[in-house]
Structure 1
Amino acid sequence: MHWVDKLILEYEQGRRELKKMYKNADGKAEKKEINSMIGDMTFSIEWMKNGTQPDMYLGIDKKGAYQKDHFDNMDMFPSLDVIPERRLTEEEKQAIFLKLIKLTARERQCFIMREGYLWKLEDIADELEISKPAVHKTLERAKRKLSLAETA
């Protein structure tokens, strides 16, 4: 997992915790402060996911700019070699890269663990600390985005 993907997941967890704090907050001033923090976290998460400042409509959109260098070295996917003696060409690696950047961080994690490393759904669920049905749904979404078979 790339450092930005980890950071996004940490920020999303922090935002969930802030939302719980907001529900349990007593005073109006406390709720206002927590709500401000939630807004800042949401802004940061959106910026990290898109690679551009949120709510900006001018300039070039470089979607996922911070996540792109993670796939520069496609040799990190040894099981993507179709035949053990054969290595992926640069064109094949580029084609895979262009498909994978269409996925969210979670979809990319699940997809690579399942299709690249051939992990079982249970193992992926344990690693990501989510339920097995959540892994299954995430894989279905990823495959739909990649125009692959409907089932995981």
Structure 2
Amino acid sequence: MTWVKERKREYAAGKRQLEQYRDKLLTVDPEEVAEELTIVEGMIADMNYSLEWMRTGRQPNTRRGVDIKDAYKRSILMDMDLMPTPEPEEEITITITQKQAAVRILMKLSPRELECYLLNMSNGLSERAIAKELKLSRTTVQKNIQRAKSKVLQEV
């Protein structure tokens, strides 16, 4: 059994226990347990939310998949060490703030521009090699790199 299935099972069991406890509270005078009943119902609602998220893999109650828009684009940029380390000749230190600023700038590029730009600037691939890798024409790659460079320069 995977850890995901274990968590789902644990959450479902916890939710059942909370529901049983809530049912016991309902048999008592409501004024005595009103605050506790509110807390337990909130916990049950949170468990339902979590279980739904685990079952579907998507954030519940979001409209039109807004939770996954550009998810792949952003997940690539979550690694703050995306830029390669320079050669040992000259040690360059980049602060976390500078890295975050660079990531914000890169996130403004379209997915295709970002891909072409990073392959060219970070990996040092030629336009021809990028075109072959991405199965695009060389001129398309060239235009994407030019657009990306101009957007980066505007932001800097």
Pair member with larger Rg: 2
TM-score by length of 1: 0.50
